[in-house]
Structure formats: structure tokens, C-alpha cells
Amino acid sequence: MIDLEVPKKFRPLVAQARGMAEEVFWPISRKYDRAEHEYPAELDLVSAVIDGMGDGGAGQGAGASSSTRAKDDGAEEGDVAAVGSGRRGSKDKGGNKNGSNLSSVLSILETCRGDVGLTLSIPRQGLGNAAIAAVASDEQKERYAGKWAAMAITEPEVGSDSGAIRTTAVKDGDEYVLNGEKIYVTAGERAELVVVWATLDRSLGKQAIKSFVVHRDNPGMELVRLEHKLGIRASDTAAFSLQDCRVPAEDLLGDPEIRIEGGFGGAMQTFDNTRPLVAAMALGLTRASLDKTTELLAEAGVHPDPDRPLSTQSAAAAKLLQMEADYQAAYLLALRAAWMADNGKPNSMEASMAKAKAGRTCVNVSLACVELAGATGYAETELLEKWARDSKILDIFEGTQQIQLLVVARRLLGYSSKELR
């Protein structure tokens, strides 16, 4: 049974991540929101601190690069390895594993309480790193260790339907040849590697989707442009063109064979690990919005009381309490999805539940906090308006709200993607 208390061994990590958010990210958040596409040099120090925490064991698997999956064959303590950190997942006295997925969710929640765009810009902590950690072989993990990896899924005219991906991968001897376009690649310009999703056979849908690790200096992958965005401006977002991009066969992640039976392939399984991380990002922004709004309303004499009926309190106080309840629901869903991954349990439905709830809660809460704070919420004197702009992407990437609900419905009803579209 999942324990809803933060494990004691993770509490120093959470405290360090919270300190990073407040002392490093908040002071520079507005600066890099305005200086879009400028690399935040301050993050080099942050990255060094995270690396040091991992090497020394204090990190306990901090960051996206540590998100991996436990074996589901009754494996004993120590089977959950945090990439690059030398740490292992451990069991509590009840037999639960508190591993790298849970620690990643908790640490990312705190850093995104500071700034989502800056968190996405920390070297070697990209969603591509989480994809590598989720499905790469031990040899590949060792080979890619210490590299910063972006993830390229979205294509022009192919939004949330990953099964409709048009980028192709054709085997040619000991290489695959990739052709296609990728857009909205987070950290695409700055990363050293890009995990590119491509299909071996368009007619087979998701079963034929594979992910390939492409080096940024590969001459077949051209950076077309950097996007100008509504939010998370500190994070660069790139578009790429792949023209006869040759990738060694050893850089295909997961099983190279097309498996018609058995549902998700290795590429699709990465969502089971990355969606709880995106939920954690949304939770961090939600927490920041709630904390700041509570502080501002307290200065105006509004003090919510969770022990009193909402009908006896002011509209602002009642709204804060309702939003707090939504936050707590999303938080528990994210913990459950991460805990299931740490314990080798199938969590596709739970990962989608967490991402759907947290993403929508983030948007609703951040906008409501701008409204509750009035002119202060709309002005640049506080970060509330920025957080409202940042929030929308967390309801979109790694699968939109509608896609998450489809995944949940399919799991609940036992339908395939062909049967329920």
C-alpha cells in the first residue's frame, strides 16, 4: 500500500529543491521570461549542484534523468537504479519501493514552484533524458550518461495523435535513415542529443513507433527555427528537419522489432514515466500560485479557514479552499503514478489521470489567482501573470487533456485505440 507521507530519505532533497526555487529561480525568473532564447548561465551552477548531489548520494535520484521503471517480476530491493547517481530504490518496512520516480516527482514539483521554463533548461534534466532512463538498455544508459537529451515527438499537422507520426525510419544495413519534420522540441537547440520518434511502418500505427537517439551535430538533422511562445520562455523550443538523417542501429531505444500484440511499444511506454513528471511541473506552478495569492489576500485581511463551511466565508476565501482541494487531489494522483512505476506496476491509466488532473488544475488555478489578486495579479510586479502564461503548456505537452481522457477511458473500458478514438 502506498504511503502518502514523503519518505524521510527524500526530505533533504525536497528541501534543497525548494531552496533552489526560492533563492535561485525566483530572482531570475522575470529576467529570462523577457530574454527569450537567451541561455540562463546561472543554471550551470544548478546543474553542478544536482550532479554533486547525485554523485554523493544525497540526490536520491533527483531530476528527470533519474526517472526509470522497476522490474515487475518480484525483484528485490535495489532493482531501481537512478541513472548516473549510483543510488538505488529501497523498500520501506511494508515492502514498498520508494525509488527514483517518486523522488523525481517530488524534486521537480519544488523546482517548478520556482520556474517551469528554468527547470526545463537545467542541463541533462530534459524529458529526453527521462525517455532514455525509461527504455534504454544498460549499455545505452552508460553510453549516453552525462548527455543532455531533448525529445522530439510533435510534427506539423500531427498534434496529440502520436500514432499518426509521419517521420519515417528505414533500415539500411547497420543504420536507420530518418526523414521528416519535428516541431516544439523543448531544449532542442541546447541539448546534445535528441530522442526522435519515427515510424518503421505508417500503416501499423503506434506499434511501429520507435525512438532514436540522434546527436545534435548529425548533418541530417537541421535546426529550422526557434519558436516564440506564450509561456516557459526561458526554455528554448526548436523545430527540426530530418533529411536522410543516418542513425546507427545501436541508437534505437528499446525493442527494434514491431510487436503487433501487447499494446504500447517501448516508445509509447516512456509516457508512463514522463507524464507523472509533467504532472509534477504543473503541481509546482499551482503551488506557487496558491502560496502567493494566499499571501496577498492575507495582507488584505482574507484568511481562509478549512474548519468552517465555505458558505460562512468570503468568496475569495472559499475559492482558495476549493483550489487547495483540487491541488491535493492532483498531488495524490501524481504520487500514486510515480509510486506504481517504482514498484513495477502498470501505470498507463494512472499516469494519464495524474497528468490530466494536474494540467487542468494548473491552468484553472493560475488564472483564478490572477483574478483574485486583481490589478496586482495582472501586473508584472508579481509573477502571477507569468505563471498563468506558463501554465497552458502543462495542459498540452506530453498529451493534451483530451488524449489523457481517451487513455483513461480505454483502460477502464478495455478498448484498444482502434476501438475507441
Q: Which grid coordinates belong to 296? A: 496577498
Strand partners, 193: 149, 215
Where do we find the cell 541546447?
190
Nearest in space to 370 (alpha carbons), one of 354, 355, 385: 385
Give dist(CA 278, CA 144) in Å, integer: 22
Nearest in space to 278 (alpha carbons), one of 154, 396, 153, 147: 396
How many other C-beta atoms lie within 10 A of the C-beta of residue 389?
16
Euclidean distance between the first and final Cα of the chain, in Å? 33
Q: Is 205 exposed, middle or buried (0-12, 13-18, 19+ CB in 10 A)?
A: middle
> Would you tell me the crossing angle of helices 266-299 and 384-394 to the nearest 10 degrees?
160
Give dist(CA 284, CA 107) in Å, integer: 10
Mean pLDDT by 10 residues, the chain (421 residues): 76 93 97 96 87 58 60 33 32 71 95 97 90 91 95 87 89 98 96 96 89 97 97 97 98 87 65 94 98 98 96 97 97 95 94 98 98 97 98 94 94 90 83
Distances (CA, A) of 143 to 54, 74, 138, 326: 18, 28, 9, 42
Element (H, E) at 181: strand 175-186
Are 105 and 338 a contacting pair, CB within 8 Å?
A: yes
Please state the separation of Cα 237 from the chain's center in Å: 15
Give dist(CA 65, CA 61) in Å, integer: 8
What is residue 205's predicted lDDT score, i.e. its pLDDT? Answer: 83
Are 151 and 186 a contacting pair, CB within 8 Å?
A: yes
> Over the Cα atoms of the chain, what is R_g?
21
Ramachandran class of 28: left when φ > 0, alpha when ψ lies in -120 to 50, beta otherwise? alpha
Buried b (16+ CB within 10 A) or exposed e, 92-119: eeeebbbbbbbbbbbbbbbbbbbbbbbb
Q: Is 344 helix (H, G, I), strand (E, B) or coil?
A: coil
What is residue 79's predicted lDDT score, i.e. its pLDDT? Answer: 26
pTM reported for the whole predicted model: 0.90
What is residue 163's predicted lDDT score, i.e. its pLDDT? Answer: 76
Domains of the chain and CATH, by start:
8-144 (1.10.540.10), 149-253 (2.40.110.10), 266-413 (1.20.140.10)
Residues 6+ apart with CB under 8 A from 405: 352, 356
Q: Is 123 helix (H, G, I), strand (E, B) or coil?
A: coil
Q: Is 62 helix (H, G, I), strand (E, B) or coil?
A: coil
Q: Is 377 helix (H, G, I), strand (E, B) or coil?
A: helix
Are 239 and 229 a contacting pair, CB within 8 Å?
A: no
Strand partners, 150: 194
What is residue 416's predicted lDDT score, i.e. its pLDDT? Answer: 85
Enumerate the active-site residues.
398
Residue 6 backbone dihedrals phi, psi, to 5 degrees: -65, 125
Are 355 and 399 a contacting pair, CB within 8 Å?
A: yes
Where do we find the cell 488584505?
300
How many other C-beta atoms lie within 10 A of the C-beta of residue 326?
19
Strand partners, 210: 198
Strand partners, 196: 152, 212
Give dist(CA 244, CA 232) in Å, integer: 32
